[in-house]
Structures are given as structure tokens and as C-alpha cells.
Structure 1
Amino acid sequence: MFPKVQSPESRRMITLEVRRTTRTSPGFTTVTLGGPELAHLLPTGRDQAVRLFFPRAGQDGLTMPTLSSEAWMAQILLLPKSRRPWVRNYTVRRVRPELDELDIEFALHGGDTPACAWALGARPGDPAGIFDMGLTYLPPAGAGEQLLVADESAVPAALAILEHAPASLVAQVFLEVPGTADIRTDLAAPEGVRVHWLARDGSAGIPGRLALDELRAATLPQGLSYTWAAGESGLVTGVRRHLVRDRGVPKSDIAFHGYWRHGRSSPG
């Protein structure tokens, strides 16, 4: 069975600041963070994830954990809410070490979550912090044709995977986004990758259901060697169930990661 997460060999808490924000598309915005401490992050490409620390509304600064082990979580929880930062998981979209810069792309979900509100209101100089969490996209060496499935919350991770993929990658990719204007026409993917962009365009359905329906109706190659599915919980469990029950794919060949659950807010 594939490992669920490949943790970094070494890591530390890194404090940065906002350098700029860019509205990527109607449903996405990118926050660029920077600072000399970024030199302590080892960029690994693919879907490298970080814990993102950012202040709550009304806080006049950012209180970062001082422990660079899993004990940081207890340290955060012991803080009063007046000092406790928000903490969320995000994918590193791009890193420019020569500029001490890192991009994190946010799916906006209507802008009504703490992370979306922070990203939309972030200004140059605002503090933020990161802690490397490693990789979940871990295909075996010599893998054949792959399948990638993501809703908008995992689209930045899927795009980072494709941009770092070897030229030999052969894959079917299903990416669901809120609207047609969120489709990336400039995506650079290996020649053997076929990307299916799926736009809800005002549909009131739960995010991920369109991608799941399209996958069920799709013609897929026999002998998929690796599947990576990420996004809303119902999407990723649905992908796994469909592939195992309907297409005979071994469970051990599927990596699935629930980023969020519809109707439930993240703790914090």
C-alpha cells in the first residue's frame, strides 16, 4: 500500500510576510509570502503542503509556535483565542528561492471562511507563517498511466503536481472548478496528460459531485497504476468506491485525501 504522507526529514517554523496578492480568477486568489526565513524551506515540488498560520481578525500580530515538532499543536491550543492564530493546510503553489518568495493559491468558496477572508484582505507586510507538512502525491517508481481527480480546493495541488511532473507522465486528470472563467488555459502539462476541466457555472450542487459523475461516465484505460484524489470528503471517498467496486482497481493503488467536508467548518 502506498504511504499516505511523506513527511519532511527536517523542518522548522518559518515566519514570513505578505508581499502581494493576485486575483488568479473569479474563484481563486494567490497570496505571495516572502522573507529571509524561507531559506529554511526545502522545496520538493509536487503537492508539497504546509500548515499556514495567520492572525485572526482583531489581532495586532501573529503568535507562532516555537516548537518544530508535532508538539506545536498543543502549544497553539494552550494559547488564549486573543493570541491564537488560525491554522489551515495549503499546498505550496510555487516557490522562487532566488527571491525568497512562495505562492499559496486559495479557492475562495464564496469568501466566507477565515482563510478566504484573510486571503482577500491580506496586505503587503501582513504576517503569516508556514510549517512543512510533506507530500501526498507519491506514485511508485515506474508507474504507468495515472488518474488525478480534484475539486477546487485541490486544484492548486493538482496544478503543482502537473507542473513538476516528468515529461513521461501519462494521466487522465479531472479538475472541477466553480466557473468557466476559472479554467487555466495556460496550463503546461506533459504531452501524455489529458486534462478534463469541469465547470459548475452556477450549479448549486455540492463541489466534487460533477467531477465524480464525469469520472463514472468516462472511458478509462485498463490497468491504472496510481490514482490520486483530493478535495471534498464525498468526492474522494466516492472516487475510491467507484474505482474499487466498478472498475476493479485495487484499493492499494488509490491515494485519497479529504481536504474538507461540505457543511462543516474546520476546527480552530
Structure 2
Amino acid sequence: MSALTVTSVAPLTPRMTRVTFTGDGLPAIGTWPDQQLKLLFPKPGHSAHVSDSPDVGVWYQAYLALPDAERPWMRSFTVRSLADGVLTVDFVLHGDSGPASRWAANAQIGDVIGRFGPSRDYARPLGTADFLVFAGDETALPAIASLLEPLPPEQRFAAVVEVADPVEEQEIPGVRWVHRSAGDDLVTAVSALEVPPSTWVWLGGEASAVRALRRHFVGLGVAKEDIEFAGYWRRSLTQDDAPTAEDLAEARERIASLGE
């Protein structure tokens, strides 16, 4: 585990802010699309430090061994960019209902949090199909943006992102925006897409929407191994809550796909 120090904080939209960090080890990590990492946010009066061990098992056991009052909140994030030793993470702001959002809304230069990852062991190659589909809500936007950037000009794709309203749109070429304020939703918009037989799909966002879209594409004949999917959050539940039966089934499928 390593520490991250805030070097800048800049609002992107009313509900999303961009934070940049520096920290030991960042220049050596390298970069690839859809990099995943864990961020640790200190509880009041405590630090985010857990263990210096690079071993995942040792580190996580040390994390669990901390008293609850001291154990930092841990949340999963996607790297927006990592270049020249500077890590950029975009945070969705949804009030004080979660520790990450609460921290990001008040972040200042010099603040310190913890990180574990990203690890190249979890890097997944982009699909090589004739047509690519990227779909998610605002929590998936950093990942989708990082996936779109390396695409060659000739690659055919559709990218659909659901956000609250038009002011949440960002300058990301090729994205079709879906606005909840207009009564639209991601599942309906993506289900209306016409896709060719050779299609590869990336899905991220609210877990039930991701599951519905995955079923939709499997029903269209897209092979399961050609669908990358991740339920980033669960309606009415946090990452601290116990996994549901559907969460566990999804995790088993994702682990199985890593071994393919």
C-alpha cells in the first residue's frame, strides 16, 4: 500500500470533481485502459495507512485487523489517467451519503489518502470485434473515457452514458448522453441499439442495470466471453454492505472469465 497526496482539485461538472495525486511508485506502474485501484479514506483522527506489505493477502488481513474506528473506508475506483507520475481520479459527488463523495467534496491540496493498485494482473485487452459497445452511468464515465481514447479512427463503436441532466455532459468525443431528468434511462437507450453479429461489449454502473444489459446482449447472441461487465454500485446499498446472491453470482462469473 502507498500514500497519495492531493496536488489539485477541479470541478468538472456540478456533480463530478477531478482530483490529481502524486505518490511513491506511481511512475513505475505504467498505464492501460480501465485501470482499477482501491482508495482508502481515513476516518476522523486516524490515517489511511494499513500495511506496507505488497502481498494482497497480508495487506488485507492487516486491514481487517484494524479496529473499526481506525479502519479507513475503502472504495474501488477507475483511474482516469496516469502519466508522468500523476494519478487522476474523477469523483462523482452525491452529498454526504458516502465517505468517498464526502472526502472529494472537501478535498484540498496536501490531503493524504491511501491506495492499493492498480495492478497489471487485472488488465484486460479490448475486444477485437467489428463493433464495440461501451455503456454505463456517470460512475463508469472515467473508465469509458479511458477505453475510448486509444481506439483507432476506423473502429466502429457506440458509447452511451447515463447522467443526471445535460449539465453533467463532458467533452468526450463519440459519447451519446442519456439524461435521467428527461425520463430516459441507460437500459432502454442501449437496448435500442442495432449491433452487428461481431460485437464486443463493455458495461459498468449500477448493478441491476448492468445485469439487465448483459442479459440483453446475451439474448442477441453476443458470446458471454465478449461482454466485460462490472456492477460499480448497488441501489440502496454501499460497498460496506454484504453482497447479495446476485453480487456473488456476478463475482463468480467475473473470476471464471479471468481464467479463460
TM-score (normalised: structure 2): 0.84
Q: Quick one: which amino acid aligns to residue 50 of structure 2?
A: M
Alpha-carbon distance between aligned partners in 2 of 1:145 and 1:88, rounded to the nearest angstrom: 32
Among candidates 175, 180, 185, match of residue 210 of structure 1 = 185
Contact kept? 1:231, 1:260, Cα under 8 Å? yes
1:57-105 residue CA offsets vs partner (Å, 9 max, x unmatched):
x1243223222122111110101123211111111111231xx321100
Structure with the bigger RCO (C-alpha within 8 Å, sep 6+) is 1
Bigger fraction of residues in helix: 2
- List structure 1 segments (4+ residues) > 3 angstroms apart after TM superposition: 133-137
Alpha-carbon distance between aligned partners in 2 of 1:240 and 1:210, rounded to the nearest angstrom: 15
Query: After superposition, where does 1:112-261 map in structure 2 within 5 Å?
Result: 112-134=97-119, 135=122, 137-140=124-127, 142-184=128-170, 186-187=171-172, 189=173, 194-201=174-181, 210-218=185-193, 220-245=194-219, 247-261=220-234
Q: Give the C-alpha shift of residue 136 in structure 1.
A: 5.9
Structure 1 pair 39/14, CA: closer, same or farther in 2 (3 Å)? farther
Contact kept? 1:137, 1:228, Cα under 8 Å? no
TM-score (normalised: structure 1): 0.81
Alpha-carbon distance between aligned partners in 1 of 2:65 and 2:145, rounded to the nearest angstrom: 36
Residue equivalent to 2:257: none
**Secondary structure of the residue that 1:16 maps to in structure 2?**
strand
- The size of the alignment, in residue pairs, is 238
Q: Quick one: which amino acid aligns to residue 200 of structure 1?
A: R
Q: Give the C-alpha shift of residue 21 in structure 1.
A: 1.1
For structure 1, the 5+ residue unaligned runs are 1-12, 204-208
Alpha-carbon distance between aligned partners in 2 of 1:224 and 1:258, rounded to the nearest angstrom: 24
For structure 2, the 5+ residue unaligned runs are 242-260
**Secondary structure of the residue that 1:201 maps to in structure 2?**
helix
Residue equivalent to 2:255: none
Residue equivalent to 2:246: none
Q: Give the C-alpha shift of residue 248 in structure 1.
A: 2.2
